[in-house]
Chain A
Amino acid sequence: MSTTTPPQPSAAANPPQAAPPSDVVTLTIDGQQVSVPKGTNVLEAAKLLGIDISAFCYHPGLPIVAQCRQCLVSVEKNPKLQPSCQQVVGEGMVVHTTDKQSTLARAQQLEFTLVNHPIDCPICDKAGECTLQKLYFEHDNADSRVDTPKVHKAKAVDLGPTIVLDQERCILCSRCIRTCDHTSGQHQLEFANRGDHEILTTAPGEQLDNPYSLNTVDVCPVGALTAKDFRFTMRAWELDATPSVCNGCATGCNIEIHHKNGRAWRLVPRHNAKVNDYWMCDEGRFTYHDLREERLAGAVVDGLPAGWDRSIKAAADRLAVGRTAGQFAVALSALHCNEDNFALAKLAQSWGVTQIYIAAKPQVPARADGRLRVADINPNLNGVKAIAEALGMTTKPVYELDGNIRGLLALGDVLPGLDPGKLKDLEYVALAAHERGPVPHAKVALPVSDWAEVSGTVTNKDGYVQRMHAAFGPPGQAIPAWEAIVRLAGATGSNLKWTHPREVFKDMVAAVPGWNSLTWARDARPLSLRFAGSRG
C-alpha cells in the first residue's frame, strides 16, 4: 500500500540550513511503507496498513502505560522487543511484526494471560465481544500446556451501584483505572496485592459510583467488569448496532444503539473527537429503557382508539376551531429531531403563524460538571431555535402560553407549565410517542416515532448538527412525526410534499443559514456485532 510523502523544498530554494521539520513521518512495517503524523505510535500506524498487532491495555483515549506487553514488535537496530503502543514512529524506522521472535512473544504473552483465566465463556457476558477471545484466536490458537489448578479470586464483587466485578477474569490491564480517572476525575479503582494474587478493587473508602462509571465496562477487554443493567439480558453476538445520537441532554454524545428484534438492549458510545471522544455518561446509557415506556401505539380520538384516517380528520377539525378564530398555538419540541420540528414549523407557517412556542424540559444546573453532562437536558433546543429563526418566527417557551388560546398543536409529550385543567379546555392535538404527561388530556393524540426509530438530525449545545439513524421501526401504528405532519397538512389544505426524511432535510438545510453545506448520509444498515471483528 503506497502513500504519498509531502513534497520537500528543493535545495536551491532554501538555504542549506535545517529544513523546516516535516510533521509527517514515513516508516516501514512488514515491508510496507506508511506515512503518519509525527507522534503516532507504531500500533496505530500498523492499523492503517490493516495489520492488527494485538494489544490489551492500549486505548487511544487513555494515557499509555505499556502494561500488558501484548503489543511487542521487533524494531530494527533495537535488540529488545518494543511495545508498539508506546513506541513513537521515527523517520525511516523499520518494524517487523511477523518475525519469529515477536510473534512468539505475543503468543506467549497470551498463554501467560490465559494460565489463570477461568473457563467462564459460556456464562460470561463479554463472550462474543471479548478481546481476549479474539486475540487468542488470531494470535495464539495453541493448546494449553499447564495442568495446575488455577488461582481463585472473588467472583461477583459489587463495586458500586452499576457494576459487578469478577476478579478472576480480570487480566490486570488497568484500562478501567485510567478510564475512571480520566472520565470522572475521581480515583475510585485500584490494583491491590502482587504477583498472581493481584486484584482489581475499589480505592480505600471509595465505591465505583461516579456518573461515568459504565465507561469502564466498555473498555474492559474481558468480562471482569459487567454492567448490572445489561448483564445476562442479551448475548452480544445477537445484537445489531446502529449509529445514532444520545437524546439525554444537549451534549449529543455519539452512540451506537445495540438492538435485536425491534428492541434496544443497550447504548454504547461511538468515537467523535469533537463531541464526546470515546465516552458517555451513565444517565445517557439508560435512556433506552424509556423507548418502551407507555408508548402511544395507535391514534386516540376523545379517549378512544381510532385509525389514522379518522384521527387526521378529527385533528384537522379540532384545529380548525382555533384557527378560524386566530386563537391557536403551535409548539415545537426540543426533544424531537430537526426534521420533525421543521415540518411542523412549515405547517405552522402555512397557517400564518408568526410566533411559535417551544416545549423544552427545564434545565438541571446540578448536572453540569464541566465534562460531558450539561444543565440542558433537551437534545435539540439549539436546532429548534435555529429553525424558528430561519423561518422568521419569534419564539416563546410554552409555559408562557397565551391566555386566550383555544387550540394547540404540540409535538412531544412534555409541556412544562401547562396544568391538566388548562389543557382539557383547549382543543389540544398531540403528536407524541408516549402516552404520558399532557398527552392523555389531548383531544386527538397521533402516535409518532421515538428518537431511536428516527432517521433525522439533532443539533447539540455547540451547534453541531448530528445524524441519527433509525434502529428499528416504531410500534403499532406510529409513524415518523414529519410524516404525520404531512398527512395533517393534506387534511388542512396545506401543501407539504415530502415522502422521505431526506427530502425534509434538503428543504431544511436550504432554509437555515449555517446548515447549507450539510449533506444527508445514506441510511445506516444495522451492523451485526457477531461479524464486526469484536468491539473490545
Chain B
Amino acid sequence: MSQKVLDALKAAHGSAVDRTATAHTDDIAWIKRDLLLGVAAWLKNDPAMAFDAPVFVTATDWLDWKPLNQPPSMAWTEDKPRFTVAYQLRSSKHRHRVRLEIELTEADPRCPSLSGLWPAFNWQERETFDMYGIRFDGHPDLRRIYLYEEFVGYPLRKDYPKDKRQPLVRRDDLPMNPIKADRHEGTK
C-alpha cells in the first residue's frame, strides 16, 4: 500500500529490520525480536508514522510448511525458526498500515509484549499464548483466555492433533448443588 512506510522504517531502524516485502497490498517488515519494543514505540510516536490503531496480533507455526509449486528448499526444516508472531498496525491519521513479523524458535518462543503501547494487544496476546504457547514478556496478565486453565497443550500448533482428547477435570473443591441439597432438608 505504501512503500514509504517500509522505507522510513528501514531508514530509522535499519539494524532492526531483517527484510521487508510488499505483497497483496500488505506491507510487511520482519523485525528482530530484541529490538521490537524500540521499533514499535517509534512507529507509535513518530508523527509521520502515527500508528495509533492496533489491528491484530497472531502467530504462525511453520512446522508443516511445504508449499506446492515452489522449490523444495522453501519447505520448513529444523534449522529454520518455527514460529512467526505477526502484529498488524494501522494509522488513523495517515491511513497507512503495516505488519511486523517476528521470527521465534521452538526452543525459545518468547516475544516482547506490545500491550503497554496498545491496550488492544492485551487480550490478543493472551489468545496467541493460549493457542500457540508464545510467551509475551512484560504482559501484565498472561493466562489463557479461550481455553480453561487445566487445558494441556497449545491447540493451534501443527503437532497438536485436531482430534486429541483432553483429560476430564474434576473440581472437588466446588460444592455440588448446595442450594438444592439444602432445600430438601429445609422443606417444611
Contact = CB atoms under 8 A, between A and B. Distances in A.
A533 B158 CA distance: 19
Interface string B66-103: 00111111100010000000000000000000000000
B159 interface: yes
Contacts of A49: 71
Interface string B52-67: 0000000000001000
A161 B159 CA distance: 41
A533 B68 contact: yes
B68 A48 contact: no
Chain A interface, >50% SS class: loop
Nearest to A531: B68
A50 B70 contact: yes
B72 A48 contact: yes
Contact of B69 (A1, A48, A50, A523): A50
A277 interface: no
B186 interface: no
B69 A525 contact: no
B159 A525 contact: yes
Contact of B71 (A1, A522, A523): A1
A533 B159 CA distance: 21
B74 A50 contact: yes
Interface size class of A (residues with CB under 8 A): 10 to 19
A209 interface: no
B38 to A, nearest CB: 33
A52 B69 contact: yes
Contacts of A522: 78, 159
B161 A525 contact: yes
A49 B74 CA distance: 10
Contact of A48 (B64, B71, B158, B159): B71
Contacts of A47: 72
Interface in A33-56: 47-52
A525 B68 contact: no
A295 B69 CA distance: 43
Contacts of B68: 533
Given A525-B64, A533-B68, A1 B158 contact: no
Contacts of A1: 71, 73
Contacts of B64: 525
B142 to A, nearest CB: 27
B77 to A, nearest CB: 11
Interface in B19-73: 64, 68-73
A47 B64 CA distance: 20
Nearest to B72: A48
A1 B67 CA distance: 15
A52 B71 CA distance: 10
A444 B8 CA distance: 74
* Interface size, B (range): 10 to 19
B159 to A, nearest CB: 6
Contacts of B158: 525
B72 A50 contact: yes
Nearest to B106: A522
Contacts of A48: 71-73
B71 A50 contact: yes
A523 B70 contact: no
Interface in A16-66: 47-52
Interface string A511-536: 00000000000110100000001000
A522 B159 CA distance: 10
A210 B155 CA distance: 48
A326 to B, nearest CB: 43
Contacts of A51: 69
Contacts of A523: 159
Contacts of B71: 1, 48-50
Nearest to B158: A525
Nearest to A521: B78
A533 B73 CA distance: 17
A518 to B, nearest CB: 15
Interface in B151-179: 158-159, 161
- The CB with the most chain A CB atoms within 10 A, among B69, B71, B74, is that of B71
A533 B69 CA distance: 9
B164 to A, nearest CB: 11
A379 B44 CA distance: 63
B153 to A, nearest CB: 14
Contacts of A52: 69
A51 B68 CA distance: 10
Nearest to A51: B69
Contacts of B161: 525
A522 B69 CA distance: 25
A9 B68 CA distance: 38
A223 to B, nearest CB: 23
Contacts of B72: 47-48, 50
A271 to B, nearest CB: 13
Nearest to A52: B69
B155 to A, nearest CB: 14
B68 to A, nearest CB: 5
A48 B159 CA distance: 27
A175 to B, nearest CB: 23
Contacts of A525: 64, 158-159, 161
Nearest to B64: A525
Contacts of B159: 522-523, 525
9 contacts: A1-B73, A47-B72, A48-B71, A50-B69, A50-B70, A50-B71, A51-B69, A525-B158, A525-B161
Given A1-B73, A50-B72, A523-B159, 15 more contacts: A1-B71, A47-B72, A48-B71, A48-B72, A48-B73, A49-B71, A50-B69, A50-B70, A50-B71, A50-B74, A51-B69, A52-B69, A522-B78, A525-B159, A533-B68
Interface of B: 64, 68-74, 78, 158-159, 161
Interface of A: 1, 47-52, 522-523, 525, 533
